[in-house]
Amino acid sequence: MASIFSLVTGKRGPSGFGSATTAEEVTEGIDASNLTVIITGGASGIGAETARVFALRRVHVIIAVRNIEGANNTKKIIIKSNPAARVDIMKLDLSSLKSVRAFADNFLATGLPLNILINNAGVMFCPFQLSVDGFEMQFATNHLGLPFYLILEEYFCHFYLTNLLLENIKRTAKETGIEGRIVNLSSIAHLHTYEGGILFDQIDNKARYNDRKAYGQSKLANILHARELSRRLKEEGANVTVNSVHPGVIMTNLMRHSFPMMKVIQVFTYLLWKNVQQGAATTCYVSLHPSITGVTGKYFDDCNEVKPSILASDEKLAKRLWDFSEKLVKSTE
């Protein structure tokens, strides 16, 4: 993991960038006018900043969100400062597999290519609840993309969304000769999860639910998903990379379920916090920077590759999670 010294001082790492680097800085000089990106949850926070910077670099940006009104406001702000920006908005509710399927069908029907997929949307430290598909929300949203008890839901939704769009990404890369990139937003919180990493047998057990550990579980799932998908794509020779990133600690709407507590913590740890421009930097770096070409299955923090936890590096755990996720998704179709 990135050192506290580097985080506080903004000291740059091997990439030439560090914790104080902004998204505009890491993409300076890049003309990506031939690329199309989907960003989930791009209506606010680091998702909105990522969308703005991608549009600034002339990428065709598709913002996939539940909050259409918020996304339209973000689009207006982007276009006001950049009239040539190409930004479209599409409905996507990551607490519903049905919505994920509908979004994928609608996007594929446009005939657009897809070069980059950024699985950005998520929830954090929410009370125990189930998604519409009956899954714990954080796991379902952060990983599967189905309705699991609010924290795992994001994982399942993104797992499902990625699978539905994968053939388009691979085909685009093959036809254009431009490497496809998939980026999962994870977190340093993946270090704080349940014993063994994933509660496979008790994923929807309310009695075992702990909001912090459930969030860590979903973020661990994001890294394991990137690792296993990367392995599979390399095995088949696809020109697509998959990496995960920790954006840093930023006060955004993601913390809406624990805002008072996080404000107190922020007072005592203010030197460790990033602004939104800095928070979007690692995502933009891994998505667009030419130095990352061919790099896959890795984890990035402060725009530099770092080692995640032992559990996040466990290939057997990654494969087990993949098989588990596939089974859960199929059970709801």
Active-site positions? Answer: 209
Rounded distance between C-alpha atoms, residue 5 and residue 255, angstroms: 25
* CB 162, CB 189: distance < 8 Å: no
Single-letter amino acid, residue 34: N
Single-letter amino acid, residue 212: R
SS3 191: helix
Q: What pairing do the DSSP bridges indicate for beta strands 60-65 and 36-40?
A: parallel
Q: Is 252 exposed, middle or buried (0-12, 13-18, 19+ CB in 10 A)?
A: middle
| Nearest residue to 99 (alpha-carbon basis) of 183, 157, 144, 151 | 157
**Beta pairing partners, 142:** 153
Structure tokens given for 128 = 């125990």
| Nearest residue to 198 (alpha-carbon basis) of 311, 114, 284 | 311
Q: What pairing do the DSSP bridges indicate for beta strands 60-65 and 299-301?
A: unpaired
SS3 130: strand
Residue appearing with tokens 């740890």:
269
| Nearest residue to 238 (alpha-carbon basis) of 180, 284, 188 | 180
